Amino acid sequence: MLASSTFFKIFPPPRFLLMPHAGLDISDDAITCISYAGPAHHKRITAYGSVELPKGLIDGGDVKDEKDLISCLAAFAKEHSLTYVKVSIPEEKAYLFSTDVASAPFDEIEQNIEFKLEENVPLSATDALFYFDLIPYTVKSGSLRASVSVVPQSYIERYISIIRSAGLIPAAFEVVPKSIARAVTPPHSAPETKLIVHVMNNKTGLYIVSGSVIDFASTVAVAGASDAQALPEAIATLTKEIDRVHSYWTSHGNGEPIKEVILVGRNAPAFEPACEHVKNEATFGAKVADVWSSAFNIDRYLPPISKEASLGYAVAAGLALDPSAGDCA
């Protein structure tokens, strides 16, 4: 059984994240950070930055050269005055599943889910770290539906060592889809089911969000860094993948239809045609994300990052939010 102390060192309760911390996104392609100051929904950006990583240094979340990554992180942390950080976990390194649980106090729900881990993921309970969110719309007959994120403990322990060696203090870790969902689906918005399309350099993530909880996640081989010649084929492939996910959700989802598609990530606007196709075929809207919607109103505060550039900061922006802004880490 997981000890509570170990669990909360990795996924701490919200009050722990009240301390000032930056969102630190470490992807295959780049290191990106954001930090905020100010009250919920009226924040200001106090630091931000992004640096490309050498190709092949990280591949699918696997660190190929710890020494080089530590060197890159240390230089980045020094440049941006980072200390406490909340760090991204790539979706390739996490398992996501949904399960029914009895309505009960948090500790009992946690234990119930722990007993079900080995039924749903290829990890033993002693080798896994997990967190769960309760999915909206799913209260029925005394049962709740939980979305569970599971990560190998060895993976997190290795990253803790890397981050500390770079002179940083990890306040928490969080899976990429959840961080993006927090940034682009603010807690005051309508609790509708949405499909987030996360365009990255060499892959694209498709995440279904119920309210602000991840209910489905998939990564497909559609490169966001496509050149002009390759872009039409990439758009066609992504269109098929969005259709496939939409059909799956219609048949196997929680009964709530997808109401909107949200595009985010580098070069995301170039893939709007894929979302437009689905919008025409179905009955929901599509838009490019507002990465700052959970942090501040851009009509009242103009951030020092352009709209286009902000799309690459979505993960870090979600990580940087604290509990008062709807953070449930």
DSSP alpha helix (H) spans, 135-198 = 153-165, 176-184
d(CA 86, CA 291): 17
Q: What is the DSSP letter of 105?
A: -
Beta pairing class for 84-89 and 22-26? parallel
What DSSP element (H or E) covers 143?
A: strand 143-152
The per-residue pLDDT string of the chain (329 residues; one tens digit each, 9 = 90 and over) reads 233 333 444 555 444 445 679 999 999 999 999 999 988 888 999 999 999 999 999 999 999 999 999 999 999 999 999 999 999 999 999 999 888 888 888 888 888 899 999 999 999 888 999 988 887 665 566 688 888 999 999 999 999 999 999 999 999 999 999 999 999 987 766 678 899 999 998 889 999 998 778 889 999 988 876 677 888 888 888 888 988 998 898 888 777 888 888 999 988 888 887 776 665 555 567 789 999 999 999 999 999 999 999 999 999 999 999 654 433 33
